[in-house]
Amino acid sequence: MNILLEKIDFSKIKSSVIFLYGSDVASRSLPFKRDEVAYIEAKRKEDISSLVILNRLPYKIYVQSFNSELPVDESLEQIRKSAAALQLMLMKEKVQSVAFTGEGIIPEEAVAFLEGLHMANYRFEKYKNKKESLLSDVHVDSLLIEPEVMKENLNLWRRIDRLRDWVNEPVMYLNAPLFADILKEEASALSNVKCTVLGLKKIEGLRMGGLLAVNRGSEDEPRFVVLEYKPENRVNKRPVALVGKGVMYDTGGLNIKPDDYMTEMKSDMAGAATMASAVFAAAENKLPVYIMAFLPLTDNRPGKNAYAADDILRMYDGTTVEITNTDAEGRLILADAIAYASDQKPDVIIDAATLTGAAVRALGTSCIAVMQQDADKYFGLLNIIGNRVYERLAPLPFWKEYDEMLKSEVADMINCNLQAKAGTITAGRFLAHFAHGCPYIHLDIAGVAFYSKRESFYGQGASGFGLRLLYAFFQMYDTIGN
């Protein structure tokens, strides 16, 4: 979808228009006929989020109201959702070009509407012969938004689309080596991002026992990708270390998943895709934050000489891990990556992973399960940002007592607590062991990374949930000390 800033004279528009109406103070300035204004106001009294359609054949005016008196975060989320609902209507009516203007709104509200519209307009149609009729062009009144703000947001939204493409892509077309190649190509297009790709031999040299074990059942070699964005005007001397789970497809290994659980497992690399996208988005818009990403990539298959329950692995940092379930593979490849990231002495380590079904059962599909260790100030900002952009965090307890559930009789740890208790927390505690004293935040995105049915502007399939959160966190990173 193209979003174009231009001067719009409402009185001369002869095409379909979206008109965003916020504060009631603007009622006297509405550019409509008296009877139209009366109709709009009557509808607002019935429902302040109403959509009124004025039919001025051969085009229509879509007057979308919203409640500007709500708390800011709620109001902006309502606007995004209204935009998503309108996008579906425009698609059914096969409208491909609209103008966008409004009254009684501020720039943040205009941006929120366009954000919802752009994200809702996304479809993964690469393999469809018959494609849907989507919005192609939105002509935005230049009085609403500054060009620099529009450009920055467009870059972010297009990066979200690219992230969703990666997560939606089937593993037969996107395995670990191919994804590593794509990340290297993306980095090369951004002169300020360095990409290092480690192949099988180098991973073996580093003795990344978790990544190597999970890969043993696969026909495809693993990859370990390191991205580095280090701007000259950075506000942090030490990097923010992002770690993302990159299981390109998860069969469960020898603890193979039943059919209904294996569907959508192409999305098990959403953590790696999200963290790579966060680096690229920050670099593209030249945010002054030093960021590194550590991305272990493999699929988890039951073939060849696949690792098995009762195996004992020696991880990158020397920790030994008894395998109790081969379907708890994500934490194994993340553990190696987190330990490797800790060697860089970062400000904070943040990982993102579609890690546990327990997170979905506990919290549903509207928030991220989060745990943190020694990272109060970083988590404090991230939590505030989560509320602001409405990609909210649900903190879970992270007490050391949960470590008792990870004890092994034959190794330092087990990889999976087999009791039907605290599955999300014990997975996080397992990972925290490998942070080695670095401030650490664990984001379990299992409930939000991929939707089986349409969820407002996040759509169906890959959602991109979490990238707006991380980007806004980097925008505000210089406030950490305060």
Give me the residue spans of the domains in the chain: 2-142, 169-479
Residue 73 has pLDDT above 80, yes or no: yes
pLDDT band at 420 (very low <50, low <70, confident <90, very high): confident
- The CA distance from 89 to 133, in Å, is 11
Average pLDDT, integer, range 236-263: 95
Residue 347, both tokens: 């400000």
Residue 345, both tokens: 């002495």
| pLDDT for position 11 | 84
Q: Could you say which of 44, 331, 392, 468 is catalytic? A: 331
Secondary-structure percent of the chain, ordered helix, strand, coil, rounded to 5: 40, 20, 40
Residue 363 has pLDDT above 70, yes or no: yes
| pLDDT for position 24 | 84
User: If residue 194 lies in a helix (H) or strand (E), which one and from where to where?
Assistant: strand 193-198
Average pLDDT, integer, range 347-358: 97
Q: How many CB atoms lie within 10 A of CB 70?
A: 15
Residue 12 has pLDDT above 90, yes or no: no
What does each C-alpha distance from 353 to 3, 342, 428, 444 come to in angstroms? 32, 18, 10, 5
Q: Any catalytic annotation for residue 257?
A: yes
In degrees, rounded to 5, the angle at the alpha carbon of residue 227 between the alpha carbons of residues 306 and 425 is 55
Residue 74 has pLDDT above 80, yes or no: yes
What does each C-alpha distance from 382 to 130, 139, 153, 342 come to in angstroms? 41, 34, 19, 20
Q: By three-state DSSP, how is residue 446 classified?
A: coil
DSSP designation for 438:
S
User: If residue 90 lies in a helix (H) or strand (E), which one and from where to where?
Assistant: helix 72-92
The per-residue pLDDT for range 143-190, each reduced to its tens digit, is 999 999 999 999 999 999 999 999 999 999 999 999 999 999 999 999
Q: Please determine, looking at this structure, whether the domain spanning 169-479 carries the CATH number 2.30.30.40.
A: no
| pLDDT for position 1 | 92
Residue 481 has pLDDT above 80, yes or no: no
Average pLDDT, integer, range 47-55: 95
| pLDDT for position 419 | 86
User: If residue 279 lies in a helix (H) or strand (E), which one and from where to where?
Assistant: helix 270-284
Residue 27 has pLDDT above 90, yes or no: no
pLDDT band at 276 (very low <50, low <70, confident <90, very high): very high
- The CA distance from 62 to 21, in Å, is 10
Residue 322, both tokens: 């008894």
Average pLDDT, integer, range 64-90: 97
Residue 445, both tokens: 């995105």
> Phi then psi for 294, rounded to 5 degrees?
-125, 115
Q: By three-state DSSP, how is residue 325 classified?
A: coil
Q: Are 290 and 237 in contact (CB under 8 A)?
A: yes
Share of the chain above pLDDT 90, in %: 94
Q: How many CB atoms lie within 10 A of CB 233?
A: 8
Dihedral sign (CA 231, 234, 237, 239): negative
- The CA distance from 364 to 445, in Å, is 11
Q: Any catalytic annotation for residue 331?
A: yes
| pLDDT for position 339 | 98
Residue 482 has pLDDT above 70, yes or no: no
Give me the residues paired with residue 443 across strands: 352, 370
Any residues with CB less than 8 A from the CB of 391 and at least 6 apart, and which?
368, 448, 465, 466, 468, 469
| pLDDT for position 312 | 98
DSSP designation for 377:
H
Domain 2-142 class in CATH: alpha beta
Any residues with CB less than 8 A from the CB of 137 and at least 6 apart, and which?
1, 2, 4, 96, 97, 98
Tell me how long the chain is.
482
pLDDT band at 203 (very low <50, low <70, confident <90, very high): very high
Instruction: From 378, 317, 363, 323, select the one nearest 343 (Cα to Cα).
Output: 317
- The CA distance from 473 to 178, in Å, is 30
In degrees, rounded to 5, the angle at the alpha carbon of residue 158 between the alpha carbons of residues 156 and 159 is 60
Average pLDDT, integer, range 356-369: 96
- The CA distance from 60 to 297, in Å, is 49
Asked whether the domain spanning 169-479 has the same topology as the one spanning 2-142, the reply is no
Residue with tokens 């800011």: 72
What does each C-alpha distance from 50 to 114, 236, 406, 428, 463 come to in angstroms? 18, 45, 52, 43, 26
Terminal Cα distance for the chain, rounded: 39
| pLDDT for position 14 | 85
| pLDDT for position 250 | 98
Any residues with CB less than 8 A from the CB of 175 and at least 6 apart, and which?
220, 248, 299
Average pLDDT, integer, range 416-426: 93
Residue 13 has pLDDT above 90, yes or no: no
Structural Rg of the chain based on CA atoms: 24
Residue 322 has pLDDT above 70, yes or no: yes
Residue 15 has pLDDT above 70, yes or no: yes
